[in-house]
Structure 1
Amino acid sequence: MSSEITKQQLTEFKQSAQSPLTTIARRATTKNGIHNASFNQEIVNANVPTFSIDLNTGKVANQKKSGRCWMFAALNTMRHDIKDLFHLDGDFQLSQSYTFFWDKFEKANYFYENVLNTANSPLDSRQVSFLMATPQQDGGQWDMIVSLIEKYGVVPQSVYPESAASSDSHEFNITFNTLLRHDAIILRDLVSQKSSQHDIDSTRKNMLSHIYRVLSITFGEPPVTFDFEYRDTEKQFQIERQLTPQTYFEKFVNWDLSEYISIINAPTADKPFNATYNVDMLGNVIGGRQVKHLNVPIETMKSFAIAQLKDGKSVWFGVDMGPQVDRANGLMADGIFATDDLFQVHSDMTKAQRLAYGDSLMTHAMVLTGVDLDENGHPIKWQVENSWGEEAGKNGYFTMSDEWMSEYAYQVVVKKEYLGPELVNIYDNATPKLLAPWDPMGALA
């Protein structure tokens, strides 16, 4: 049964929008916009950027017009350790363009794999439609950067600097996705024609050769060996010769990446806590580390992050960076924009409802570098190192209220040692539940 909007209803609606309060709100909003008209200064006053635990992590990086936040966040956590151990100045960075190159290369191969695995499904099936909608994108997950580093290592930004396309990836992604969809047509046709595995493999290898050439032209040829020269904070000249990206990682980072795992908070009925989850068709490196999440209550997730910060280690974490974020003040705080008060409506939902109804998912990864604890050790607010350059927030740093973290933070990466033996055993040994490719916990930061 349909129910059209009648002229009588329109008259009633118009009358209901003529109160003095509505008139004042309309004047403020049409002149200043929704956020400025609903801005709540009291929330700013309650979130002064001072923290009881505050790591000195140096200058922020800038991902510019690209979706590499997950790489920046991961490489920044490693950079913090390198800076302290080798006495490098605050400008030092690992090359985000280097990992970007290899991510694009591996994502092409991963896409080909998924195309072949679904080649007998119709084009309008949900899986194939999902694949073709976005063959690849800039975003990623923690386990995906681990796969890249384990295979390709890392290099300093001075060795492999930014390119035009790594700093502004829009036109490259359009070009690249068109090429991948073209290749998908060929691969699906080969399967439908019952071509031999040899012919399919040969065609795929030829496609990857073309992909490599495109990437090399776009981003520059990645280094195989290099010398690393620098002056430390004592102005002493240092040089390491004939390094590879792998030996550079071993010498300057030397993390056991198997010890760092993804913890999520997804309080929906289909994802019980204290269980692990994989996501179908999500990844980049075939044969690399699978994306795997351990789901826990939000207070448990926070406690792991606090423990790692107390040990002087920053924390990779993922959030929905859309709602209630004030870039100018560098503030992530629920209620900073009182839009329900402005419009005299109610739009409140639980975190589970926002996930289930498509109102929220993880969209951005950053680094926790501090936390303000009360006298009982409970968090009040958190310090966040972003990757939007120094002009956003306070010299690139944001303050996140603890209430905002509860509602919009979905993931942290911590060492297993903070979990306790029971949760470590679940992560290591329990069989993960496989989530659909379009599940919100498969979102890429």
Structure 2
Amino acid sequence: MSQKITKEQLEAFDASFAAQRANRVAMNAVTNNGLLASAIQRGAVENDVHEYSICLKQGDICNQKQSGRCWMFAALNTLRYQVMRKCSLKTFELSQAYLFFWDKLEKSNYFLESILETLEEPTGGRLVSYLLTSPVGDGGQWDMLCSLIEKYGVVPKTAYPESKSSSASREMDATLTEKLREDACILRKLHGEGQTLDALRTRKAEMLNEVYRLLCICLGEPPKTFTFEYRDADDHFHRETGLTPKRFFEKYVGVDLSDYVSLINAPTADKPYGRSYTVRYLGNVKEGRSVRYLNLPIEELKKAAIAQMQDGQPVWFGCDVGKCSERDSGIMDLDIRSLEDLLDTRFTMTKAERLDYGQSLMTHAMVFQGVNLDENGKPNRWRVENSWGKEPGKDGYYLMTDRWFDEYMYQVVVNKKYLTPEQLAAYNAEPIALEPWDPMGSLAKAL
């Protein structure tokens, strides 16, 4: 058989296409309406009902706009739950922009430290090339969010509101990325000239000072103290002055973040269940907690998430939001489209194969605010709070079928009290370190 595409093959392809009437029908539909729109199945939209046997109440839907801060929005949406209860508020929002500022600064330091740790690696090698890919991107992980809060606290959105660059981060990110790649180049050159590590870290401090200045220009100076004013559900006015961000978290959120653990489902041969994992060169706060996961069968993730919601608490999770989902209706359903029928082809990879071959990974973080349990106590659909505003889905809420959960859910964060003693021991055991490019090292950042 020829290595190239031959004229005879092309003629055979043409004949095969023309022989099937369905090919022309599909071509006309797709060329006029687009591939995904042409494959929508009305039946799935009609059958997926936004009603749930467990349904938590939450404040107004948030909007991350043109930024990859879903992981922050999702995490702060779980934490604002505590503020709303303590202060008797119908809605409330913590400042995502505040943590965004510190995340950018800490990621800059983490990146430059990673450059210093890899000075002997070739610039064109896989590791350094990977580090240079996205020095200060918007994405993140639950443990990275915890590190930021433990160091910097949180503030209400009124104390540090959105800016143009927090809501639409592309220009700021591009500028910071160019500056950090330049800084990496300088540090590696200085190393080649024989400068000591102490001298390089002195230069790094100057670089970080410049990053801080750029962040202040783009996002505004973060508050050191602020006044918290609000009116509760009974119309009583409250004011507290001189709060620091860490004091605000302690008093009004009051969650012990160390109680929460990440459970993942990665059914690949290289990641046995019942083991903990971390990822090399993945983090933001250098002295903060390392990213750590416990890999479990998918049913164990469901069990823990349901238990937490039964106790009245929402659940942060990470998934591959772009697969088998429809943005306008907010439906995440394996049957939402029938591309196989439209294209007369089959997609046969398993979840493990999709991970191994780069077809799927975690892309987006959201919050479970409910689940529907059938007469046997089994889940069949999940209520999802998104951070894309009120327009998509049902007033900003998405619906995830349980079959979708099986295929494209990768991570839930739950209180460790919902783990068995054996699972908790496995989580606390020395983690297996994954390479930075492993799919479990992906960051939630979908817009």
**TM-score bracket for this pair, using the shorter chain length:** over 0.9
- What's the secondary structure of 1:182's corresponding residue? helix
Residue 2 of structure 1 deviates from its aligned partner by: 6.0
What do residues 195-230 of structure 1 show as CA deviations (whole Å, max 9, x unaligned)? 123311211111111111111111000000111011
Assess, with a 3 A threshold, how the Cα gap between structure 1 residues 253 and 104 changes in structure 2: closer, same or farther.
same
Long gaps (5+) in structure 1: none
Distance in 2 (CA, whole Å) between partners of 1:208 and 1:264 is 34
Distance in 2 (CA, whole Å) between partners of 1:69 and 1:223 is 23
Code of the residue aligned with 2:77 in structure 1: it is N
Residue 347 in structure 1 maps to residue 347 in structure 2: yes
Code of the residue aligned with 1:235 in structure 2: it is D
Residue 376 of structure 1 deviates from its aligned partner by: 1.3
Aligned to 1:356: 356
Aligned to 1:86: 87
1:140-179 → structure 2 map (5 Å cutoff): 140-179=140-179
Residue 39 in structure 1 maps to residue 71 in structure 2: no
Contact 1:333 1:400 (8 Å CA) reproduced: yes
Distance in 2 (CA, whole Å) between partners of 1:28 and 1:197 is 62
Residue 435 in structure 1 maps to residue 406 in structure 2: no
Q: How many residues align?
A: 443
Residue 130 in structure 1 maps to residue 130 in structure 2: yes
Code of the residue aligned with 1:89 in structure 2: it is K
Long gaps (5+) in structure 2: none
- What's the secondary structure of 1:263's corresponding residue? strand
Aligned to 1:253: 253
- What's the secondary structure of 1:365's corresponding residue? strand
Residue 36 of structure 1 deviates from its aligned partner by: 1.9
Contact 1:120 1:191 (8 Å CA) reproduced: no
Distance in 2 (CA, whole Å) between partners of 1:2 and 1:351 is 34
* Worse-matched range after superposition: 375-384 or 35-44: 35-44
Coordinate RMSD, CA, aligned? 1.0
Residue 153 of structure 1 deviates from its aligned partner by: 0.1
Distance in 1 (CA, whole Å) between partners of 2:420 and 2:307 is 12
Identity of aligned residues (%): 52
Code of the residue aligned with 2:73 in structure 1: it is F
Distance in 1 (CA, whole Å) between partners of 2:45 and 2:241 is 50
Distance in 2 (CA, whole Å) between partners of 1:318 and 1:242 is 36
Aligned to 2:183: 183
Distance in 2 (CA, whole Å) between partners of 1:309 and 1:194 is 57
Contact 1:225 1:242 (8 Å CA) reproduced: yes
Distance in 2 (CA, whole Å) between partners of 1:149 and 1:266 is 28
Q: With structure 1 as the length reference, what TM-score do the two structures score?
A: 0.98
Aligned to 2:58: 57
Contact 1:263 1:294 (8 Å CA) reproduced: yes
Residue 334 of structure 1 deviates from its aligned partner by: 0.4
Aligned to 1:388: 388
Contact 1:371 1:383 (8 Å CA) reproduced: yes
* Worse-matched range after superposition: 75-84 or 307-316: 75-84
1:19-418 → structure 2 map (5 Å cutoff): 19-90=20-91, 92-418=92-418
Displaced runs of 4+ in structure 1, greater than 2 A? none
Distance in 1 (CA, whole Å) between partners of 2:142 and 2:345 is 38
Contact 1:120 1:192 (8 Å CA) reproduced: no
Distance in 2 (CA, whole Å) between partners of 1:206 and 1:22 is 62
- What's the secondary structure of 1:17's corresponding residue? helix
Distance in 2 (CA, whole Å) between partners of 1:339 and 1:302 is 28
Distance in 2 (CA, whole Å) between partners of 1:197 and 1:280 is 21
Code of the residue aligned with 2:435 in structure 1: it is A
